[in-house]
Structure 1
């Protein structure tokens, strides 16, 4: 195609067509900017919603209740099976697909999940503990009860729910090919989870006991009986950088006990102003050996 060497100013060639084309491009640009539909405006809005500061619930009786806002944290541990892994406490985070986040104004469903070394509660890592019957707000969450975990999808009027389903050829985790975990917009049996006590020898004794806040627990999918796991050695390229993969799989050691990959903490807010969470005040030595008679008195009905 021959190059047009004449500009609109010399009034030769297709000068009138070029003038109209420039006017249409400028008009389209101004219209999109006014409506907030430019790519840079959509990116700023999405990041602003996902990274906005959140306030976690403060547990006065040291227990988790329905309706509490918490962070799901995989505590720091050394993984001898992997030479390269993410160290430190990893929090469960909403991870929108990078391409879809650029092309669409809203989050696409299902939305991905990852584990990132984030200690501050923001929009993408703050979950709400929900009851299936929606009438249990304020009541204590107990071991063995079905519950849901919801998160605001970048806005205050739309909530997504942590869900999983059996692995198939078309649906599995990206790196490990294990059972996928994602965020969906429907609360169903696929979004039901249960908490289990960390020590398998005391698990039956703790059934029905209140779940303490900021203590290590297991979170299992009710439908598939797979444990929520953070794979620190499998890194994903996400919208926010390199983060660890999250899947639903129970990793057992030689003693038939769950590995640290399956250990989680429901972290609440700190009533003091020196830290937004209770992570710095935890007691790892005592939380796994708490006597059974003390667990029954953790929370008052």
Structure 2
């Protein structure tokens, strides 16, 4: 199956500003689940220079820098991606390391950033850690059943909402409010896993949605990936209650959500304010008739 992606991001400024160097993350990654076939990036105003690179997490990024003053910045990404993974469970877990606590052995140093939890409120019960322990016990310490159960539990008990304001809620806030955007639920899933010593990371990308008609706009999507011995990084989407397969196109993954942001950069100007809008379309490519 091939998916075509169109993603437009536009910033408008109240006054002319100088755009500092930016880092862009729009190019879908290449891995065992997907292969990018086509990718293009159109930027207005035209950058003075640009350079493709890998960031510290191994994501493909584009560094861009600008000359002069500008009142807007528009970035349009187009991609076609072949989706390869029909079965999200097409792996054989390492039987010696498929129970909790997970023994990562040789991978432990590389996975350390994905095991770190942010400090929780001092003097207060760590409700997320308590919940994590209950999920572990219910799954009898089996890693893959635990992940499936956790994914389903968050999907069933937490309301998925659309939030236009930037940023990701803390796992504690999402836990308290029992709701959140896809990125908030992904952050909660990650925090539960890390509380159990399971390596987890944040993923941003796109989703083919059955709820949107052809030509209707969507938005960037987010989910979690877990490192499973014998299987590598595997995606779980608690906002959908699904293990990730053909409908999810991964762009960037990192230990924190900030490391997956499509656009990272600042601007300089005298009192200028900015407005932001984005639109995403994801459609299946229809094969031409012979």
- TM-score with structure 2 length normalisation? 0.25
- TM-score with structure 1 length normalisation? 0.24
